[in-house]
Amino acid sequence: MKDANDASSGTGAPQTKWVWRCKVCGFIEDGYPDGLPENYTCPICGNGPKKFQRVEVPIDTPRGL
The ranges assigned to domains in the chain are: 16-58
Block means of pLDDT (10 residues each) for the chain, length 65 residues? 46 86 97 95 98 95 84
Instruction: Give the pLDDT of residue 4.
Output: 43
Rounded to an integer, what distance in angstroms lies between the CA atom of residue 16 and that of residue 7?
A: 13
Q: Do the beta carbons of residue 11 and residue 45 sit within 8 Å?
A: no
Mention the CATH class of domain 16-58: mainly beta
Q: Please compute Rg for the chain using Cα positions.
A: 15
For the entire predicted model, the pTM comes to 0.75
∠ Cα 12 13 14 (to 5°):
115
